[in-house]
Chains A and B, each alone.
Chain A
């Protein structure tokens, strides 16, 4: 059972990594700041969430399970803020 869950977790992590890769490609290939930001924040927020989710089956305690989600929450917060700030700057 736990083996199966862990396998599933690995798949989810792989999907998260793919999100990161897509986001990075978008960052490099998109033409203007706003679309680049779009690629980066969307992909990274989703990607890190998937990684946190995929790590769940490997956690040995509740705290260990929650920690990646805390990190995810902080990344969401700072990602959203910086993306807005950069976008505001770019629009001006």
Chain B
């Protein structure tokens, strides 16, 4: 039934290139790891572009049967619109972070290999492999392995700084990630017992609304929500993400969380039967709404810039959960809008949040601290970083034109079209609160520096430009005409064929 499509081999390349690159970088060590990482990540952008082009040209998902064995016995790699878009997003953010890391994570002169830089470059590749596995995997158990790859890569990146205060928050992060994985695995055990396959497309064709399926869905959702730090499981995220070096924080907040999101999409729209899913979706959205409000309010109150940005992640992740009841509401047009809005929120947040963390890191390095109340002079000292922070903030607030605006507008109109106006209120309220904390930072940065103001010497210009470029991408996503998001619809299961 399923067969390898033309261009399917690209999917193998997208996965094996970073995985093999990591192994080789690990053996070569030291400065060679940096060179391997940059080369592989640059090639990764090319492969992602080719995959996007192939998916668009075929107007159908790319499929690759691994080992030539069709499911249920074998397993597939699949790139539909969502995978293709997320893969490109990940490839660009990874490459940008790598370019930023050339200045901040270079092996110091005089040694052949140093701990933090070597781990950074190896785990950058590891993360690329894990994300490719998570976005392309067509089998739920294979996705479990991908989640574990992601856990190891993310944890190592989070611990890069090696600061004494850090291990507590990162250990808590690890425990949450592991519990999330185990709950997910528990669900796959039930699904295999129920259907005799873990292939996502075969499950979509066979799904039934029985107790094992629903319990599996609940357990897996809880596990993935723990990994995404959905309210009320959000407490681990801010200290864990804020404690990492900026380049790692950008990846953790921008990308790692999105892998669990893609798995959640697979689960809810492919594996779970639509009618009970539609009944349960408002719970998910309500938790998302709570995350938006609580996360934004906490971000508003943070004294530290990096913690502020991390709490903003809690809030922005909340938006992703609003799409579930809207997609499942049964109105084909509104469903399509919510789908686009959700996925676009995931991609635009990836660019915006990466830009924000990188900019925040640069500002903190220049001023020697990251206290929000004492940012005066930052605007003069590092204009590009502050502009990057502001542009990314526009996207998070949902001010046009920006990717974040388009995403939130699509979700908002979908909420109104399906008569669920309360979610629209949450989106607007969240935007106002986001405006509040972004304003706090910007206003502070633009004031005059205090008299006894000392700043470190300016670093190289490259990192500032990287942060600015990422912020510009998150804004530019909003300039694309809606029709160009057709890619995201490819391979999406049709839910509610009109009223």
The answer to A–B direct touch (Cβ < 8 A) is no
